[in-house]
Structure 1
Amino acid sequence: MNARRRTKADGLPSRVYVRRNSFFWVRPTDEKWLKLCRVAEGETLMYERLAAEKRKVEVDGDEGSMSRLVAIYMDKFEGQYSDTFRDEWKRRGEDVRKAFKHHSVEQVDSGLIEDFLLQNWADKLPTQRAMKGWLSKFFAWAVRRRHAQVNPCREVEVKKPTVRDVYIPHDHFMAIRAALASYSYEKKIKGKLQVITAKVPTGPEMQIFVDLCYLTCQRSTEIRLLRWSQVDERAGVIRFKPTKTENSSGQAVDWPITPEIAAVLRRARALRRELTVQPLHDYVITDRRGKPKTAAACRDAWRDGLVRSKLEKMDYVVKDIRAKALTDAYRSGHGIDELQVAGAHADRATTEDYIKQRDVPVSVVRLRLPAA
């Protein structure tokens, strides 16, 4: 509902109205009715809340309409994203606000967006695609709300990232896993150089994370967000419903609790009892406050493990653990159909791509030079 013109003076500020015994302000940028406070709470509080809301949308003398609209868009839609992705989604929005702070929304065209992507992430095609997707959704909203005439992202082409073919050898994998929990350094003690081994505080949690990623062939997100309620010990399975496909194929898989997985879960329970703060959530892998590990925390810990194991030049990432697990399972004799179920893939071709890129066949053809 749009703000209506007053027919008689009521002593209220512009665009402030009383509805259902509360003061509401109609935001001029999108005509949204924002509740300020109850009438019974008084006009003083109403004016304070009104000033705070106006500061969110008023031009600060240096900020263009693009930045202000992005802020409104973020405030409106951040609640639609999960807790685990919301911070990353907001970070991308802040990158957009910073880059286009001095522009009006009408000035931002396809050329500016392309420059923004190439200048910041020239060698990171996945990030380019993610940022273009963020901007495209923003402009789609801006067009619907009549803040913009066209969506300039439609004319921007972003190269598709090459299919990743990295495979982590066994010795590298175990070296990184060990480095997650401890590291060594040299120190002089009484004039003699000695090797000291120190523990990493987050090492046990990260080893559990890596072990479950490998033993269950699941995406790292499913392991980070794994709850004890998914561990059905009576049935002897862990019930996975991948978040990546919950709104598409809805593929799910019950993974048997093997002796190896059972041993990892026992370690996780022991760590849970050691938490100094009562866990806030029912997650299997948590930080010291009982909250689930973030993607950034797992990524940083993995990178630190690469450095400590002196494998930082190998470009291994957390997602490569799943690819290694599926490839190792294939090499041990499991068929593509079995691996498709294990990976919760709706399409057999997806499973085959995982294997093809990492299990390079060895030719058995032997030739000799022809006789003269």
Structure 2
Amino acid sequence: MPPMGRRRKDTASDLEPRVYLRSGAYYYVHRTGKWEGLGKDKAAANEKARLFNDPAGLQGTLVHWLDLFLVHCEARVKAGSMAQRTLDDYTQAIRGTPDREAKGKRTATEGKAGPLRVFFAPPITPLDVTPAMVNEYLEIGAQMGRPVPANREKAALSSCFGWLCRNSKVPGLLINPCLRASGIQRNRETSRERYVTHEEYRAVWAEAHLSTRLLMEITYRTLQRPESDVIHWDTTVLSRNAAGKRVLKFKQCKTGKVMMIEVDDQLEALIQQSLGDVRSLRQPLVRNRDGHAYTYDGISANLKKAISRANAKRKAAGQATIPSFGFRDLKGKGATDMWLAGVPLEEIQALCGHGDKTTTEIYVKARWRETVTPNRVAM
């Protein structure tokens, strides 16, 4: 029987065993004597400590390592090396959907468990997972009508295995069973081909509120990811270049590349209108009436409402309705319009943040639907 921990010298009886409060932050003391920071939030610190203390006896199982992997990802988000949206996707795949009555608590036992937690339930360990099991997971996802979410969940699992392998967390684990080299074939996905026409853009623009217009225009002009980059921008991204022109200077969340994009007059006017005359430090560019930043889901709902209002007017005028589209489609529209205007693919690639020019070429050409001249060569 392992020796019991020493009696606390403080009176923080609501803390988990081995958790201590020092200088306003909580720390967990491992059995090796190592102190690990848990942050300043008591509830979050206790939740992480429960994983380390392992009261459910999950030590060594894949589920236990998946939970610890999320703790690692949370630290990466705070350090700026991982996007919050990526963490949210991983959390959804592993911990699942929290119960609405849980009042914001995000533990594995509340609400609907994550699909990875269900499929790879204890006593499965990382060493038990084979490429055949991962392929089976993808096939079941496709049979259930959710092939794309299954692909995303597999990506979360693969990222966890990569973390385990790189850091030698599990003795004997040398190969990531989720990689293509292991024989994994993800579910087929249909490429996004939606091209928003100029007419559709203008019709929705006319019905959109200021914040929606601003995100539409920034996404179209800069080709940045609206869900992981633009939605998080604040006044700190606004600066001037050596020539004194207004620019957006930021680091792409996915690639880490520092970008500097010039602001044209129309975009400048929208930004000024959104920020107003009285500004505060780190004021969000895309914000609601209370001055707070929008969530991506919230601003996307506003875009859908603008499309609905535009379609109501088009129906009354006997015109065809506008098929639904999202802000991400406006990034594709911007890239395609630049390509049709003769802008080199290398420049479009740099703006999009694609690692390969071939990706940019597919990205823009998938949305090109012009009628072409047939072969008229005489035989």
TM-score by length of 2: 0.64
Structure 1, residues 293-316: CA drift from partner, whole Å, max 9, x if none?
333333343344445545998352
TM-superposed CA distance for 1:265, in Å, is 1.2
SS at match of 2:123: coil
Assess, with a 3 A threshold, how the Cα gap between structure 1 residues 280 and 357 changes in structure 2: closer, same or farther.
Answer: same
Measure, in 1, the Cα distance between the counterparts of 2:53 and 2:300.
34
Give, in angstroms, the shift of residue 280 of structure 1. 7.2
Alpha-carbon separation, structure 2, partners of 1:205 and 1:65 = 46
* Residue 262 (structure 1) aligned to one of 268, 272, 275: 268
Q: How does 1:1-372 map to 2 (within 5 A)?
A: 25-26=29-30, 33=34, 53=50, 57-59=54-56, 65-81=61-77, 82=82, 84-85=84-85, 86-94=87-95, 95-96=114-115, 98-100=117-119, 102-106=121-125, 108-120=129-141, 125-142=147-164, 144-146=168-170, 149=173, 151-154=176-179, 155=182, 156-159=184-187, 161-179=189-207, 181=208, 203-220=209-226, 221-233=228-240, 234-246=244-256, 250=257, 252-270=258-276, 273=278, 281-287=282-288, 290-310=291-311, 314=323, 316-336=325-345, 338-340=347-349, 342-343=351-352, 347-365=356-374
Tell me how far 1:56 sits from its aligned partner.
5.6
Per-residue deviation at 1:158?
0.5
Identity in percent: 17
- State the shift of 1:166 in Å: 1.9
Deviation at 1:323, TM superposition (A): 1.3
Q: Which amino acid aligns with 2:248?
A: I
Distance in 2 separating the partners of 1:305 and 1:159: 33
**C-alpha displacement at 1:111, in angstroms?**
4.6
Contact (CA 8 Å) 1:117, 1:131: kept in 2 or not?
Answer: no
Q: Which residue of 2 aligns with 1:191?
A: none
Would the alpha carbon gap of residues 128 and 318 (structure 1) be closer, same or farther in structure 2, given more than 3 Å must change? farther
Q: Structure 1 residues 69 and 93 mapped into 2: Cα distance closer, same or farther (>3 Å)? A: same
Q: Give how far 1:83 is off.
A: 6.1
Tell me if the contact between 1:105 and 1:147 (Cα under 8 Å) persists in the aligned partners. Answer: no
The one-letter amino acid paired with 1:57 is D
Aligned-residue Cα RMSD (Å) equals 4.5
- Distance in 1 between residues matched to 2:346 and 2:368, nearest whole Å: 17
Cα deviation, residue 240, structure 1: 4.4
Q: Is residue 121–residue 127 contact of structure 1 (8 Å, CA) maintained in 2?
A: no
| TM-score, structure 1 normalization | 0.65
* In 1: Cα distance, 2:235 partner to 2:64 partner: 42
Q: Contact (CA 8 Å) 2:235, 2:283: kept in 1 or not?
A: yes
Higher Cα Rg: structure 1 or 2?
1
Q: Figure out how many residues of one structure are paired with residues of the other and give that number.
A: 315
Shift of 1:217: 3.1
CA contact (8 A) 1:306 1:312 kept: no
**Secondary structure of the residue that 2:327 maps to in structure 1?**
coil
| CA deviations over 1:170-208 (Å, ceiling 9, x no partner) | 2222333344x4xxxxxxxxxxxxxxxxxxxxx332221
d(CA) in 2 for partners of 1:341, 1:134: 27
